[in-house]
Chain A
Amino acid sequence: MSRVETVIAARKAAGSGALVGYLPVGFPDLQTSIDAAVALVENGVDIIELGLPYSDPVMDGPVIQRATQAALADGFKLGHGFDAVAAISARVDAPILVMTYWNPVLQYGVDRFADDLLAAGGAGLITPDLVADEAAGWLAASDRTGLDRVFLAAPSSTDARLRQSVEKSRGFVYAVSTMGITGARADVDQAARALVARLRTAGSTSACVGVGISTGDQVREVLGYADGAIVGSALVSALADGGVQAVARAAAALAAGTVATGPASE
């Protein structure tokens, strides 16, 4: 089992599931983004999803767009991503998955990217605009290095495509809760529950739900049927509004949803 799978399995064995927290590198500045990621872990986040700012983030809503644009305007370079992974893993044990659109990896060189990520202590990649069908180079590089590769599964995916996402993913499958882009939502879609059920049928033992989750109650609800809950925009908003202290509080509030409280909500 990979480190990410091990963490998820341990949280499940304890009667709950994993909390995955997203923050972009370089927002509001490199050092603060590192401190904020460390604060996530210190406040109950199990797995870090570290986003690399990209000029054309088509999966992201306004909150993450604003943060990553600010990071780019402030001079974010890909090298900072590896620096951040190394700096965070020197301070906390949680596995770090890097979330990146595909072109930066392609330009850096898929094999070189994999090698440098591994050397920095990273656990793998989440690739929002790379489907397994187009991923031959990354499948080979991740097999060679043992890095995790998280592909997406959507409510609109056919059963055959869900099976493919499950088979090709390592670490977990990213179940997109709703047809839409990142951003907090009052209701995490019923579609998420149905999607996770379909992923189970497709053989998944490690499915995390993301997009729209912003409260501890939603985390608890999701962990009632999924193996992990992924939170992004809510953390980025907290960091934008109140700095590291605020993001630490937000993480703690979300982590309250991972505390096993007897029987799951089902």
Chain B
Amino acid sequence: MLRDELGPYFGEFGGRFVPESLIAALDELDTAYTTAKTDPMFQAELAQLHATYTGRPSIITEVPRFAEHAGGARVILKREDLNHTGSHKINNVLGQALLARRLGKTRLIAETGAGQHGVATATAAALFGMSCVVYMGEVDTERQALNVARMRLLGAEVVPVKTGSRTLKDAINDALRDWVANVADTHYLLGTVAGPHPFPVMVRDFHKIIGEEARRQVLDLTGRLPDAVTACVGGGSNAMGIFHAFLDDPDVALYGYEAAGEGHLTEKHAATITRGRPGVLHGARSYMLQDEDGQTIESHSISAGLDYPGVGPEHAWLNDIGRASYLPITDDEAMQALRLLSRTEGIIPAIESAHALAGTMKLGMELGPEAVILVNLSGRGDKDMETAGAYFELFDAEAAK
């Protein structure tokens, strides 16, 4: 069963490529997680938080007016945008924060790109009375300024990272450096299905509730499984979360949409599986964008949350065994889909999630009106108003001053 993969390797991907100093902490985390997985107390605590704090189960919404632009297929959104803090990220954060508390850690650190993972981590730290430091590339602190303010309001310290490409990849480097130095009292709350084992498996497991709920909900609504499940892929957590429940349903096609920036054939993209090749980045072997010397190439995307030159190892494996397909979506395709969903359905998606919507439009035209497509709407667009406002010239010239 494809659903039974436990790591540390997915085929030839995954593993632990980290300094020796971190191995003990990874082992400690792995043991704690393995225990928690089958501990009814832990599961009950997490379920309670989902029900009374996050707002789970998240609903599904069928979007027929949007679907007219997707070949007339039935399009159903899994509404992770309605979760507390505005995206799927909270699922993983609450799970890991509970684990950190069990381990006696009093300080949470995190990387963030779009700021959604940082906001979710700052939220959990506030809820559990822990201190919190969030590393965020300087470029991202500018384009996601609203989320910087949210994190600070929640009591977190936000550290703008000024090295390298000053985006998500460099934020992860700094978080790893912090963790090496402070591992005794600090948990590194990694925000996607990348990194060294056990993160890819653990983060996936905390998100697989998305697909488990959605599978039942779609069955209830349509009486059958969807023909395809779609999601955007940055590191790949929302995609693994919704894919996982369907991995062993061979008739359900799985599509991950990567950020193609200005085009996956240009040099300005973040289409890691489409354009990258296997290598080691941030502790795991997976696909990555790199030059011939193995130096990481900077990625580009209008969406901070997808602007990452790596991808989780389980996706690399699902790609190589042909179980899931990964396709590029440009900045403009995503922005058009963002506006379209807003205007046809009154739902403003995150730019990340808009990549999944744009992919779904193309897929729907291929599959036709008989098809049912389930889309993971991973987050809401409030954080992106600055970018969207500039892109579509929505601000009055006067007000902009």
Residues of chain A at the chain B interface (Cβ within 8 Å): 54-59, 61, 65, 69, 72, 77-78, 102-108, 128-131, 133-134, 151-158, 161, 165, 176, 179-181
Asked whether B296 lies within 8 Å of A56 as measured between CB atoms, the reply is yes
* Of B25, B169, B290, the contact of A107 (CB 8 Å cutoff): B290
Whether a CB of chain A sits under 8 angstroms from the CB of B2 is: no
Given A103-B279, A103-B280 in contact, is the A54-B295 Cβ separation under 8 Å?
A: yes
Asked whether B293 lies within 8 Å of A102 as measured between CB atoms, the reply is no
* Of A77, A128, A131, the contact of B293 (CB 8 Å cutoff): A77
Whether a CB of chain A sits under 8 angstroms from the CB of B129 is: no
Closest B residue, CB atoms, query A151: B20
User: Could you say which residues of chain B place their CB within 8 Å of the CB of A134?
Assistant: 15-17
A129 to B177, CA, bound (A): 12
Asked whether A106 lies within 8 Å of B294 as measured between CB atoms, the reply is yes
New A-B contacts (12) at CB < 8 Å, excluding given A106-B279, A179-B181: A56-B281, A56-B282, A103-B296, A106-B280, A128-B19, A129-B17, A129-B283, A134-B15, A155-B21, A161-B23, A181-B177, A181-B180
User: From residue A210, how far is it (CB to closest CB) to chain B in Å?
Assistant: 12
Whether a CB of chain A sits under 8 angstroms from the CB of B110 is: no
User: Could you say which residues of chain A place their CB within 8 Å of the CB of B20?
Assistant: 131, 151-154, 157, 161, 165, 176
**Residues 281-299 of B at the A interface (beta carbon under 8 Å):** 281-283, 290, 292-296
Asked whether B21 lies within 8 Å of A103 as measured between CB atoms, the reply is no
Residues of chain B at the chain A interface (Cβ within 8 Å): 15-21, 23-25, 163-164, 169-170, 173, 176-177, 180-184, 279-283, 290, 292-296
A144 to B36, CA, bound (A): 44
Asked whether A107 lies within 8 Å of B292 as measured between CB atoms, the reply is yes
User: Could you say which residues of chain A place their CB within 8 Å of the CB of B170?
Assistant: 56
A121 to B391, CA, bound (A): 56
Asked whether A103 lies within 8 Å of B294 as measured between CB atoms, the reply is yes
Closest B residue, CB atoms, query A58: B176
Q: Could you list 29 A-B pairs, sorted by A, with CB under 8 Å?
A: A55-B295, A56-B281, A56-B282, A57-B173, A59-B19, A59-B177, A72-B295, A78-B293, A103-B290, A103-B294, A104-B293, A106-B294, A107-B292, A107-B293, A129-B18, A131-B18, A134-B16, A152-B20, A152-B21, A153-B20, A154-B21, A154-B23, A156-B24, A156-B25, A158-B24, A179-B182, A180-B181, A181-B177, A181-B181
Asked whether A129 lies within 8 Å of B290 as measured between CB atoms, the reply is no
Asked whether A65 lies within 8 Å of B163 as measured between CB atoms, the reply is yes
User: Could you say which residues of chain A place their CB within 8 Å of the CB of B169?
Assistant: 56
Asked whether B181 lies within 8 Å of A103 as measured between CB atoms, the reply is no
User: Could you say which residues of chain B place their CB within 8 Å of the CB of A181?
Assistant: 177, 180-181
User: Could you say which residues of chain A place their CB within 8 Å of the CB of B283?
Assistant: 129
User: Could you say which residues of chain B place their CB within 8 Å of the CB of A157?
Assistant: 20, 23-24
User: Could you say which residues of chain B place their CB within 8 Å of the CB of A133?
Assistant: 16
Given A107-B294, A165-B20 in contact, is the A55-B280 Cβ separation under 8 Å?
A: no
Closest A residue, CB atoms, query B27: A158
Asked whether A129 lies within 8 Å of B295 as measured between CB atoms, the reply is no
User: From residue A89, how far is it (CB to closest CB) to chain B in Å?
Assistant: 22
Closest A residue, CB atoms, query B163: A65
Given A106-B294, A157-B20 in contact, is the A55-B164 Cβ separation under 8 Å?
A: yes
Asked whether A179 lies within 8 Å of B173 as measured between CB atoms, the reply is no
Given A69-B164, A107-B279, A156-B24 in contact, is the A129-B293 Cβ separation under 8 Å?
A: no
* Of A65, A154, A155, the contact of B19 (CB 8 Å cutoff): A154
User: From residue A62, how far is it (CB to closest CB) to chain B in Å?
Assistant: 8
Closest A residue, CB atoms, query B278: A106
User: From residue B14, how far is it (CB to closest CB) to chain A in Å?
Assistant: 10
User: Could you say which residues of chain B place their CB within 8 Å of the CB of A56?
Assistant: 164, 169-170, 173, 281-282, 296
User: Could you say which residues of chain A place their CB within 8 Å of the CB of B18?
Assistant: 58, 129, 131
A27 to B393, CA, bound (A): 45
Residue of A102, A155, A156 with most chain B CB atoms under a 10 A cut-off: A156
Closest B residue, CB atoms, query A77: B293
User: Could you say which residues of chain B place their CB within 8 Å of the CB of A65?
Assistant: 163
Asked whether B181 lies within 8 Å of A104 as measured between CB atoms, the reply is no
User: Could you say which residues of chain A place their CB within 8 Å of the CB of B181?
Assistant: 179-181
User: From residue B311, how far is it (CB to closest CB) to chain A in Å?
Assistant: 15
